[in-house]
């Protein structure tokens, strides 16, 4: 089930039109800024391929003087590192080279292939964010397009998001 949705969403996202994508990424940037400018520290995934773009978001947050961390893959885990010099990491994704930050982070921007109506997500199938988010005190914000909302049954190890931000606005999940 999850693997079928992974395939379907990968294809759907790949064939999203260029203009639609540009508009959606821009709308999401504005929504994000309006909703979260009261927070000070952010962990933001470094987008690659057809994922919702975060480079402009990172730039915007930095220009507002926010503390921005990027995740770095270290074996089975994600280590937050303050934005700085970047280097291509494990999956060809840009990762920061500095030391791991061990403190709290206000908002975590989470990538996904699909999200369900209870706020559970499907990622690439390695469980990195399930492990990272487990027990962590941070606002968990999924970041993606509206068509990525999909019905599926989550697994017991899946960690739910607090919010989902798409080009249509912000969805909240009741707890
Ligand atoms: P994704 O969330 O990336 O879509 P899955 O939810 O399918 O991937 O999880 C992938 C793997 O990660 C699973 O085999 C699961 O056992 C493992 N996993 C997830 N969370 C944890 C955890 N807290 N501790 C250990 N393994 C975990
Ligand atoms: Mg999972």
How far does residue 19's CA lie from ligand 2's centre (Å)? 31
Q: 109-118, 136-145, 166-175: lowest mean pLDDT where?
A: 166-175
Give the atom of ligand 1 at the shortest distance from the alpha carbon of 134.
23
State which ligand 1 atom lies nearest to the alpha carbon of 157.
20
Query: CA torsion sign, 68 to 80 to 173 to 144?
Result: positive
Measured in Å, residue 17 CA sits from the centre of ligand 1 at 31
With a threshold of 0.85, does the pTM exceed it?
A: yes
pLDDT of residue 75 exceeding 70: yes
Please, which pLDDT band fits residue 90 given cuts at 50, 70 and 90?
A: confident
d(C-alpha 110, C-alpha 103), whole Å:
18
Q: Which two tokens stand for residue 159?
A: 């960690």
2-171: CATH architecture: 3-Layer(aba) Sandwich (3.40)
Which ligand is nearest the CA of 135, by number?
Answer: 1
Q: Is 154 in the pocket of ligand 1 (CB under 6 A)?
A: no
Mean pLDDT of the residues in the chain: 97
Over residues 23-61, the pLDDT tens digits come to 999 999 999 999 999 999 999 999 999 999 999 999 999
pLDDT at 76 over 70: yes
């Amino acid at each position: 089930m999850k693997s079928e949705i992974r395939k379907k969403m990968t294809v759907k996202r790949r064939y999203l039109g260029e203009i639609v994508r540009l508009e959606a990424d821009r709308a999401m940037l504005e929504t994000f800024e309006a909703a979260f400018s009261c927070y000070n520290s952010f962990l933001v995934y470094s987008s690659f391929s057809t994922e919702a773009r975060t480079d402009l978001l990172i730039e915007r947050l930095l220009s507002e003087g926010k503390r921005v961390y990027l995740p770095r893959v270290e074996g089975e885990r994600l280590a937050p590192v303050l934005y700085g010099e970047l280097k291509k990491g494990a999956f060809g994704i840009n990762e920061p080279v500095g030391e791991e930050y061990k403190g709290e982070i206000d908002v975590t921007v989470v990538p996904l292939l699909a999200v369900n109506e209870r706020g559970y997500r499907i990622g690439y199938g390695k469980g990195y964010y399930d492990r990272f988010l487990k027990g962590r005190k941070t606002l968990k914000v999924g970041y993606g397009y509206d068509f990525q909302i999909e019905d599926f049954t989550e697994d017991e190890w899946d960690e739910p998001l607090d919010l989902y931000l798409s080009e249509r606005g912000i969805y909240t999940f009741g707890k």
